[in-house]
Amino acid sequence: MFKNLGKLKNLINKKEVKINLNELKSGINFFENFIIYENNNDIKVYDRICDHQGGKIISKNGIAICPIHIWEFNPKTGFYNNGVKKKEVKYLISKNFIKINDVSYIPEITKVKKKLNTEIRFFNHAFLKISGEDFSFSTDPWAIGPAFNTGWWLKHSTKNDWIEQLNNSNFIYISHNHPDHLHPLTLSKINKTIPIVVPKFVTKSTEMYIKDLGFKNIKVLDFNFQYNLKGTNLNISIFKSGDFREDSGIYFSNGEFTGLLSVDANMINFNRLPKANFYGSSFAGGASGYPLMFDNYKLEEQMKISLKDKIFLKQKLYDCLKKILPNYFMPYAGFFSEKLKRDEKIFKNNKKNSIDDYLKFCKLNKIKLLNVLKNDVYKFNGIKLINKKNIDIQVAKDLRPEKYLEYYKKEYKKIDENYIRQYFLKSNFKDNLLLYICLTDDNFKLLNKNYLINFSKNQISFNKISKFTKGFLKKDPNFKKLVLKVRKESFLNTIYNKLPWEDLSIGFQCKVLRNPNLYNVNFWHYFTNIYTTSQNVRSVTNCASCKSLNHFFDNQIHQIQTKL
């Protein structure tokens, strides 16, 4: 299906940065793009890009810290205070100067000088279909139903030809395993023989999930290689996110037309960005339980952090646009809302950027902004936009949010404590961490179903506790503590169906309390990317199945149509 064309070419720009050794003081030194640590002529050099979401590390009271999510970095050890290691930058010392090669790479996909037609159609959220004269492919389809355990809902309805359009695609690209991109209910409606393109993640987190859903024709593509869809003019390459998360974007060419979809990957391709005619990216923000679901902060602090995140995302996107310099920019992958009554507080406080927030910047930089809420189809000849339109057809039938919640409440009513125990005991996760799971109702009121899991021992321990109090956080000071107050049906859906745990945090389904107040990166990575799917989670009971939601949906839609 694909012909491997080899690694992407990279145009390399080198700029030598020289720093006089006499400028260094003992300890931490900050320069424009680098941090240098000096101790008795032992020198370590790091860039100032935070490995979390690409913020710039600053000096605050003598401490190296990222102001976005307060990640503290220790240049002496080379580690962030949550255990993530930062890579050192190579350097030379010559004639009393530290010399650092500040290298930038500009990837370039193979393209031919042909003015071919390219059409880009927006369906919903991150769901696009890109077509040429001899190919078509779709991306990250989420067309109906909720995501993240009913925490996210599509802001707008999807037009009702979406199943047909997916089924006649040459392939579907899935960027990562979050359910607003890899959506089980949506994928259950389409032909299981259609090729699915996924990135070659180390943990196979996306590939395994797709297999669990019954797809057989899975194409795993390596990062930074380019592939030609045989018999067509389409070339594609997969870029990884530049942080530690398993996320990706896709870079493609059709004749002289080139496009990059970074979706919601942070620091896509480690900020090694191509020049592209078309660029599509998430834009809205608000796509995290942090900080609004974190009890380490009061509401006033949460709102300040949330506003700072919103502004930071917009500035980061401005920086990407300046590097890529596209002719056209499409803000997408941000059209979700919190629609359930139980999430009214989140809906009120979770402010997001709008498409209009990018108009002024694009106009100043001579970039044409493509507003998918006004036109959902854009057609190009070569690199010239020749037509735009809005397809006037009916929207697909879907259920009311309350109906879905009714399903989850009924389906995940029974608490199987033996399954929960075995789920954790068989996880093989090791960390100096005490995890408290407290099941709650819709309003996060405790149901007196509380569990303590100790991952620090050779043998993982699991114990029920009668009542959780904040006093637990002060006990055992040598341990990290993570408290998750989780809505009952959301927790059971996640572990019974072996889903990624970020479905809980991103979906506003759990209140988080930490001591120390640090991101537990190892825990979230393991239970989101490694200990998931039926391949890695050995069920001791078959409590639930993706098929049951599909069956419920079909029955409910049939009842609605019968009444009409």
Q: CA 326, CA 192: separation in Å to the nearest integer?
A: 35
Q: How far apart are the first and last CA of the chain?
A: 44
State phi, psi for 9 to the nearest 5 degrees: -75, 150
| Nearest in space to 401 (alpha carbons), one of 488, 338, 489 | 338
Q: How far apart are CA 183 and CA 177, in angstroms?
A: 8
Tokens 């145009």, residue located:
11
Euclidean distance between CA atoms 179 and 211, whole angstroms: 15
357-359-364-370 Cα dihedral, nearest 10 degrees: 130
Question: Are residues 260 and 175 in contact, defined by beta-carbon separation less than 8 angstroms?
Answer: no
- Owner of token pair 């043998």: 459
CA distance 547 to 549: 6
Q: What is the dihedral of CA 553, 338, 294, 456, to 10 degrees?
A: 20
How would you class 21 by CB atoms within 10 Å of its CB: exposed for 0-12, middle for 13-18, buried for 19 or more? middle
Other residues' Cβ atoms within 10 Å of the Cβ of residue 435? 22
- pLDDT for position 541: 52
Determine the Cα–Cα distance for residues 367 and 329; give it in Å rounded to an integer.
Answer: 7
Q: In whole angstroms, what is the distance from residue 375 CA to residue 384 CA?
A: 17
Q: What are phi and psi of 414, to 5 degrees?
A: -85, 125
Give dist(CA 200, CA 4) in Å, integer.
14
Total residues found in the chain within this entry: 564
Q: What is the pLDDT of residue 60?
A: 86
Burial category of 475 from C-beta neighbours within 10 Å (exposed 0-12, middle 13-18, buried 19 and up): exposed
Rounded Cα distance, 370 and 119, in Å: 13
d(CA 175, CA 198): 6
Closest CA to 272 of 237, 222, 312, 245: 237
Entry pTM: 0.91
Strands 257-263 and 248-254: antiparallel
Q: Name the nearest CA neighbour of 11 among 103, 79, 96.
A: 103
| 554 Cβ neighbours under 8 A, 6+ residues apart | none
The beta strands (E) that lie in 48-179 are given as 58-60, 63-66, 71-74, 79-80, 92-94, 97-108, 117-124, 127-132, 136-139, 153-154, 171-173
Contact 307, 89 (CB under 8 A): no
CA proximity to 411, closest of 544, 316, 257:
544
Q: Which of 314, 306, 313 is nearest to 290 (CA)?
A: 306
Residue 208: the pLDDT is 95
DSSP letter (8 states) at residue 546: H
DSSP string, 411-453: HT----HHHHHHHHHTS----SEEEEEEEE-TT--EEEEEEEE
Across-strand partners of 137?
Answer: 130, 171
pLDDT in tens, the chain (564 residues): 999 999 999 888 888 899 999 999 999 999 988 999 999 889 999 999 999 888 889 998 889 999 878 899 999 999 999 999 999 999 999 999 999 988 888 999 999 999 999 999 999 999 999 999 999 999 999 999 999 999 999 999 999 999 999 999 999 999 999 999 999 999 999 999 999 999 999 999 999 999 999 999 999 999 999 999 999 999 999 999 988 889 999 999 999 999 999 999 999 998 899 999 999 999 999 999 999 999 999 999 999 999 999 999 999 999 999 999 999 999 999 999 999 999 999 999 999 999 999 999 999 999 999 999 999 999 999 999 999 999 999 999 999 999 999 999 999 999 999 999 999 999 999 999 999 999 999 999 999 999 999 999 889 999 999 988 888 888 888 899 999 999 999 999 999 999 999 999 999 999 999 999 999 999 999 999 999 998 888 765 554 456 788 888 888 887 877 665
The CA angle 35-15-21, to the nearest 5 degrees, is: 45
Phi/psi of residue 35, nearest 5 degrees: -115, 130
Residue appearing with tokens 């990562």? 176
- Residue in 108, 94, 356, 339 with CA at minimum distance from that of residue 239: 108
C-beta pairs of 274-278 under 8 Å, 24+ apart in sequence:
274/106, 274/107, 274/108, 274/109, 274/324, 275/106, 275/108, 275/324, 275/325, 276/251, 276/324, 276/326, 277/326, 277/327, 277/328, 277/380, 277/383, 278/120, 278/326, 278/327, 278/328, 278/329, 278/330, 278/380
Q: What's the Rg (C-alpha) of the chain? A: 24
Q: Tokens 């102001």 correspond to what residue?
A: 67
* CB distance 53 to 80 below 8 Å: no
Quick one: pLDDT at residue 563? 65
